[in-house]
Structure 1
């Protein structure tokens, strides 16, 4: 199952992300010819993104709660960020799993924004291409579910959220920290347009659409076997098999009957 597709800036390679934890890099002119695999994720790969001003680099996110940086032609992992270690305890999330539903990039500051699918959080990273690593900068929290994010080079980070009264939030870096800007003419104009066309979002309002159905199912066969075995023993104790003369044989507490093979 393909979950995302990207094309290299020079149109030479097609990159695909799938449910089986891998990223495949193929030749665009001959898709059956595989250049490399980017392997390392332990759950489905939800999003991939080729960095425009560093076309040899690829960003990927996954249900394993990581954001990874790759040199994709060689299938080489350069850096891995574990998102669960970054999450600030704004609200307890326990063992809740999440994956990124959007990767956005701002070339002006080499800034990466990561939107998660089931928590109202956007993570901000700085791409240090010379050191081939991602530097975590900040976590942006929102009161409402975030549907999408996008950078505008001249404005900043636009955030679309599930709240008709204020559907858009515009964030900009102020003193090295990203902050929501006060309502201005540009924000007011775009927000009014979204509100006028809110009917197109009605089907999404309040709906939790995520990647929950894509996680690998785990089975504990040993626990299930022991439970069923105990149920069989309990049933035998309550209904012991008949003895040689047709009468039920009385068993001592904790003793299970054993029937000889015929």
Structure 2
């Protein structure tokens, strides 16, 4: 799985064990970081390793990364349980390598860029200092199931966490044991979270149930629910209407006017216009049909939409909003040329991630028909008991037959 993000002047992508950074404004050398060559953890005592330390069996695959709002910092975490922090100014360099307790699923910086938060597969959220890059992480909160996404409110007041059990929890960042609200209503795991630009009181969530919901997260009130079956699937007669799919990404343009939604397994991106003046928060706009399967997407600082594709020849598309429509940008734009050429030069990094199965495949609920199972077992039990009775009747008379015979004999004797 390849992931992209654009903040400041940088277009950053990760795939497998490699992070690639491309400057959109200037012709500069690529920054390439390979986790396979990163600092290794010094082996500790066996007991410490088992409690969450490194292991030779761990791979170097990047599990999540984040770029700070200004683009000055980047953090990644990998399968080897490293948390690597970078500074992009005056040039890219690694600030620190620290270690997390469990494999992480999501990473995010605070708006003040003084801390980075990571959510892991065991359901915990840790914070790590950016200003003190060697300081160990601090545990903030935990869920009872795997965390799939974490977000922060624009004022850094709340930590917003989403898990496999459909729950979205709003907790105070400085006192995370205090829960402000829950946003409940999804029927499958919550796979994407976003507090959109320009609307700091909204939360957008995407799920394996194929819906996007808009919340007033501080109260837990649901403002809107959008069934993407009506937009993504039913518009295409060739697609299977019974197919389950998850929302894999929700992003907002920097000006807060547009929302883009990507669903796994579909060659399209669904766009919405933000309409805060009515009861409908998001108004369905266009569906961008793509020539190849998309990996990920991002908005840059100029509100251009970038879509990373699973194709070496056409590896990325750039769209701009003009006259109330999204248009494909000219392939000769300097920014697009820099990104396209850089990705082609590093395409060996991406080859192994082409055509992979859904990352959400094992997260869906497994439905059991308990009544059918009960009735089947009951029928088997009755048949077994019937066979036992039949076998017993064939060898000797049962008590009812004995009683009837005795009564008959008694009656004959009394008559005589």
TM-score (normalizing by structure 2): 0.55
Could you say which residue in structure 2 is the equivalent of 1:112? Answer: 259
Of residues 204, 207, 219 in structure 2, which corresponds to 1:74? Answer: 219
CA distance in 2, matches of 1:111, 1:27: 28
Contact 1:118 1:208 in 2 (8 A): no
**TM-aligned CA deviation for residue 145 of structure 1:** 1.6
Q: 1:245, 1:80 → 2: CA distance?
A: 67
1:179 to partner: Cα distance: 2.9
Number of aligned residues: 248
Distance in 2, Cα, partners of 1:72 & 1:168: 34
How far does residue 229 in structure 1 lie from its aligned partner after superposition? 5.7
Match of 2:203 in 1: 58
Instruction: Please report how far the alpha carbon of residue 177 of structure 1 lies from its aligned counterpart in structure 2 after TM superposition.
Output: 2.3
CA contact (8 A) 1:149 1:160 kept: yes
State which of 331, 338, 359 in structure 2 corresponds to 1:189.
338
**CA deviation string 1:97-150 (max 9, x = no partner):** 111111111133610000112222211011112325110001122232211100
* 1:58–1:72 Cα contact (<8 Å) kept: yes
Q: Give the SS at the match of 2:348.
A: helix
Partners of 2:271 and 2:240 lie apart in 1 by 19
**What is the Cα-based RMSD across aligned positions, in Å?**
2.5
Residues 226-245 of structure 1 correspond to what in structure 2 (within 5 A)? Answer: 226-227=375-376, 241-242=390-391, 244-245=393-394
Alignment of 1:23-172 (within 5 A): 23-87=168-232, 88-89=235-236, 91-108=238-255, 110-131=257-278, 133-154=281-302, 156-172=304-320
Equivalent in 149, 168, 181 of residue 4 of structure 1: 149
Give the distance between the partners of 2:392 and 2:170, measured in 1 at CA. Answer: 70
State the 1:226 CA deviation: 4.1
Q: 225-234 vs 55-64, which deviates more?
A: 225-234
Unaligned 5+ segments in structure 2 are 1-145, 401-416
Contact 1:173 1:179 in 2 (8 A): yes
> In the TM superposition, what is the alpha-carbon distance from 1:9 to its structure 2 partner?
1.2
Question: d(CA) in 2 for partners of 1:143 and 1:236?
Answer: 63
CA shift for structure 1 position 57: 1.1
Matched position secondary structure for 1:26: strand
- The structure having more radius of gyration, on CA atoms, is 2
TM-score (norm 1): 0.85
| Distance verdict in 2 for CA 1:165–1:78, change over 3 Å | same
